[in-house]
Amino acid sequence: MSDSRIESGVGGGPSTALTRAELENHWLPFTDNKTFKDDPRLVARGEGVYLWNQRGEKLLDGSAGLFTTALGHCRPEITEAVSAQLGELDYIPSFLRSHPRSFEAANLLARMLPAPINHVFFCNSGSESVDTAMKIVIQYHLARGQAQRNVFVTRDRAYHGVNLGGTALSGIARNRQAFGSLVPGIVHMRDTWDADQCFSRGQPARGGLDLADDLLRAVRTHGPDRIAACFVEPIAGSTGVLIPPLGYLERIREICDDYGILLVFDEVITGFGRTGAAFGADSFGVTPDIMTMAKALTNGAQPMGAVGVRDDIYAAVVDAGPGDAVEFAHGYTFSAHPAACAAAIATLGIYEREKIFERSGEMSEYFLDSVFALQNLPAVADIRGYGMLAGFDVAAQGTPGLRGMRLQRALFDAGLHIKTTGDAAILAPPLIVEKSQIDAMCEILRDVLKSI
Ligand SMILES: Cc1ncc(COP(=O)(O)O)c(C=O)c1O
């Protein structure tokens, strides 16, 4: 393939052909770079629920970009808001300055978050939101004279991003192998998936209390006043949509309350309507102390992450400072970037005006019916689903993960973009998806699952 040219234009438009050599300099993240560059799958354009590849062929976007693009691609109001912002103020730091739209974005977001989470720290990604949350937790306990609280509890099969804190919190062996031990004091509970739950739709009925008591075991092992925080994704997304059994999150909340442990919900995937309500916290009726967010916060149009904290956590950290001094020595050059704030304001406004979270809740049944209709295909080993988020496993063939990789390529070639992790595939279409588009996605899935 080394001399062949790879089309990179959109059908009908000017086509810039890239040679294999021209693909070399970009080191792609989480990608099999060598094989990918020999046979790349590039996307050149997006609109609504559709994408177009480098040859101008149309695809359905079955994972809303990467759980980012809830309102569909290239939503004009968001594009225009970003463009107008860049023409007015392209950049100002938020260190000792900031700009009016950062407050507007925080106010809008606070209105959506469950009370009493009203204070928002901005960053640029889900990974940064997780590491920021870890630092807020530590700073909060320090401010209250509890410096001994330095153990974090998390879960197997969790994904909390790729910064050092998040890598250590994650429960994915491959991501952790080289770096996972760089942050000490991390304890893993069991994940919530069990073979008994195969093909159970929504929250599995059994096992919730027993699994949650792993947190109690951590308390017993490390001491009643040593655990700083417990991090959970309300639904573990990236590792294949693992839905908490009934009673699980409630019991985790109870144990956190009993032992002064902060509960952090990582809502990077579950936030902004994915579960059929504003946040997983709302769907499951359990309010954490801190929430991490990113992805659909800006509809994916700008990189942005955020950490929402309870009012008293903010107050404890800020009031502990002596005045005229920085209270929390943390932040990013691009925290609350004006263009990201403009994208967030436009996005959150559309979520509210168009009642997108309610729409997601209403569409969920049709979506889950359609996905669960695939359960009798021999290649399908399990299906899980909640809200507008569904995961299925293909039965492994040979080395674990290979069949999932083959599936992901075959689906793309058949016109469907979705995320896979190992032998798990995740379906999370834009929340504006129509029933006919769900049908078309499941049709492609059915055909490809029969052929791999
Ligand atoms: C729950 C969760 N936390 C954190 C992250 C990391 O987000 P980012 O890739 O924006 O750094 C992800 C990414 O998928 C995620 O699913």
What does the pLDDT average to over 369-376?
98
Mean pLDDT of the chain: 95
The CA distance from 102 to 89, in Å, is 12
| Closest by CA position to 141, among listed 363, 313, 379, 356 | 313
Tokens of 178: 């080289």
- Residue 239 Cβ inside 6 Å of ligand 1? The answer reads no
Q: How much distance in Å is there from the Cα of 175 to the middle of ligand 1?
A: 13
Q: What is the pLDDT of residues 262-308, one digit of tens each?
A: 999 999 999 999 999 999 999 999 999 999 999 999 999 999 999 99
pLDDT at position 12:
40
The CA distance from 420 to 53, in Å, is 19
pLDDT at position 13:
42
pLDDT at position 176:
87
- The model's confidence at residue 10, banded by pLDDT at 50, 70 and 90, is very low
Tokens of 174: 């491959």
The CA distance from 195 to 197, in Å, is 5
Q: Which of 169, 238, 265 to mutate to test the pocket of ligand 1 (most atoms within 8 A of CB)?
A: 238
What does the pLDDT average to over 27-35?
95
Atom of ligand 1 at shortest range from CA of 266: 1
Q: What is the DSSP letter of 295?
A: G
- Residue 159 Cβ inside 6 Å of ligand 1? The answer reads yes
pLDDT at position 4:
57
Q: Which of 68, 123, 127 to mutate to test the pocket of ligand 1 (most atoms within 8 A of CB)?
A: 127
> Residues with Cβ < 8 Å from 337, sequence gap 6 or more?
91, 124, 302, 304
Q: Which domains does the chain have, with CATH numbers?
A: 41-74+355-451 (3.90.1150.10), 76-353 (3.40.640.10)
pLDDT at position 11:
44
- Residue 266 Cβ inside 6 Å of ligand 1? The answer reads yes
**Helical ranges in 7-125 per DSSP H:** 33-38, 64-67, 76-88, 100-112
Reported residue count of the chain is: 452
Please tell me which of 19-23, 61-65, 322-326 the model is most confident about, judged by mean pLDDT.
61-65
The CA distance from 52 to 282, in Å, is 35
- The model's confidence at residue 179, banded by pLDDT at 50, 70 and 90, is confident
pLDDT at position 178:
85
- Residue 237 Cβ inside 6 Å of ligand 1? The answer reads yes
pLDDT at position 413:
96
- Residue 161 Cβ inside 6 Å of ligand 1? The answer reads yes
Q: What is the pLDDT of residues 47-106, one digit of tens each?
A: 999 999 989 999 999 999 999 999 999 999 999 999 999 999 999 999 999 999 999 999
Asked if residue 23 has pLDDT above 60, the reply is yes
